[in-house]
Amino acid sequence: MGRADCGRTHAKGISRLEQKVMFQVARGLAKTLLDLITFLHNHKTPQQGREQDQPGSVMNLRHIEVFHAVYSVGSISGASRLLNVSQPSVSKIVKHAESRLGFRLFTLVRGRLTPTEEAHILFREVDDLHSRIDTFQRAARNLRSPSEGHIRIGVLPSLALAKLPRAISVFRQKWPRVTFEVSAIHHDEFRAALMSRECDFVIGHHAVGDPEIAAFSLGQGCVGALFVEGMFDRDLSAIPIDLLRSQELIGLAPSVSIGDLIAPVMAGTLKSTPAIQVKSVYIAAALARSGSGVAIVDQFTAQAFVGDDLHFRPVEPAVTFGLSVQHLSAHPLSRVARSFTDLMAGMIEAQGPSAERDDCRNAMGARQH
């Protein structure tokens, strides 16, 4: 077996890593199901006969699915449309579930189907199981093929302006059935977003430094100057820091996500507090475009603003930084998510057609020699 085949099953074409993901999700699903079965056994009424006390006498997954649908929509007819089955079939399954449980789940009150108190208690348990089943099914779809799935991303505001939107656009042109949910968050929110499962992964400049969070490189970027026409010679491939000392620099507050990236440049050029200080890269770029000064930003922020009237050049000596993708160690990325991060890494490496991007790459290369 060749190196490329290592860790892959011949029958299914799924890697051991992907099998591990499915196992973890299935194990959580099985635990929840076991908890629900235990809950149902503990809540049987004394009137139940010997048949109900035998193993397998509680609700099965089909009973749970139908009960959840009827409870959620509030009617047999609505549940039948949701599940795409006939109304008599739904009614029959509900009655069968009630027979197994030994108590009523729904009653008719003034012609309307109303959950019993037992149903309210049971639904709290079933809803968690139903959510886990959805998670299991979504994970299975994502592992089956990169052509469909749902990706939840947390990203720094600077990356959300241009690079990420472009990557999503390119990705969905090839795989239109993949959907995205994007949140702009800061570094101090990364861990909470991952632990709460609000995001499948986050993208930022710094790794969280937590054993529960894994990270891998997405690429490199550089810091530079954003300025209007006429401030510097357009033939310059990079702006020496000495030239910046003669310009009005727009300061960024420490709370801005890229503040630590530009700190070395600002420290080397400013002799006093900047006349203008802002708490947003958007405002800094707008002020630079108005001619109020030079904004020191990262190249990814600059890409959203450069044009005929606004230019970007890396500073010299070069100030570079790395981008990383971070996710929970216990929840490796799905195949579709990994396909997306591979695409984004390729786009960062290629740097695109913009002259400013080539200059940034040249500056980084010069620093390494």
So what's the pLDDT on residue 166? 92
CA distance 83 to 205: 45
Q: Which CATH architecture has domain 16-143?
A: Orthogonal Bundle (1.10)
pLDDT tens per residue, range 279-324:
888 898 899 999 999 998 888 888 889 988 899 999 888 888 889 9
Residue 222 · residue 298 · CB < 8 Å = yes
Instruction: Pick the range with the lowest mean pLDDT from 71-75, 263-267, 352-356.
Output: 352-356
Mean pLDDT of the chain: 78
Residue 101 · residue 64 · CB < 8 Å = no
Burial of 234 (0-12, 13-18, 19+ CB in 10 A): exposed
Q: How confident is the model at residue 341 (pLDDT cuts 50, 70, 90)?
A: very high
So what's the pLDDT on residue 182? 95
**Any residues with CB less than 8 A from the CB of 160 and at least 6 apart, and which?**
182, 184
The more confidently predicted of residues 2 and 271 is 271
So what's the pLDDT on residue 179? 93
So what's the pLDDT on residue 34? 55
Residue 132 · residue 317 · CB < 8 Å = no
**Any residues with CB less than 8 A from the CB of 19 and at least 6 apart, and which?**
9
Estimate the crossing angle of helix 335-350 against helix 117-144, to 10 degrees.
50
- Does 19 have pLDDT greater than 80? no
Q: Where are the domains of the chain?
A: 16-143, 146-218+322-352, 221-320
> Cα dist. 124→39, 95, 120, 194, 300 in Å?
11, 20, 7, 25, 45
What phi and psi values does residue 6 have, to the nearest 5 degrees?
-60, 140
Neighbour count for residue 288 (Cβ, 10 Å)? 26
Select the CATH number that applies to the domain covering 146-218+322-352 from these four: 3.40.190.10, 2.70.150.10, 1.10.10.10, 3.30.460.80.
Answer: 3.40.190.10
Estimate the crossing angle of helix 335-350 against helix 163-174, to 10 degrees.
120
C-alpha closest to that of 52 among 3, 101, 116: 101
**Any residues with CB less than 8 A from the CB of 46 and at least 6 apart, and which?**
none
So what's the pLDDT on residue 320? 86
The more confidently predicted of residues 354 and 91 is 91
- Does 24 have pLDDT greater than 80? no
pLDDT tens per residue, range 73-87:
889 999 899 889 999
Burial of 178 (0-12, 13-18, 19+ CB in 10 A): buried
So what's the pLDDT on residue 31? 54
Would you state the structure tokens that stand for residue 150, as one six-digit string? 């749902």
So what's the pLDDT on residue 106? 92
Say if 16-143 and 146-218+322-352 have the same CATH topology. Answer: no
pLDDT tens per residue, range 170-199:
999 999 989 999 999 888 899 999 998 899
Would you state the structure tokens that stand for residue 164, as one six-digit string? 């990420």
- Does 18 have pLDDT greater than 80? no
Superfamily of domain 221-320, CATH level 4: Periplasmic binding protein-like II (3.40.190.10)
Amino acid at 261: L
- The number of C-alpha atoms within 13 Å of 93 and in the hemisphere containing its C-beta is 21
CA distance 125 to 40: 10
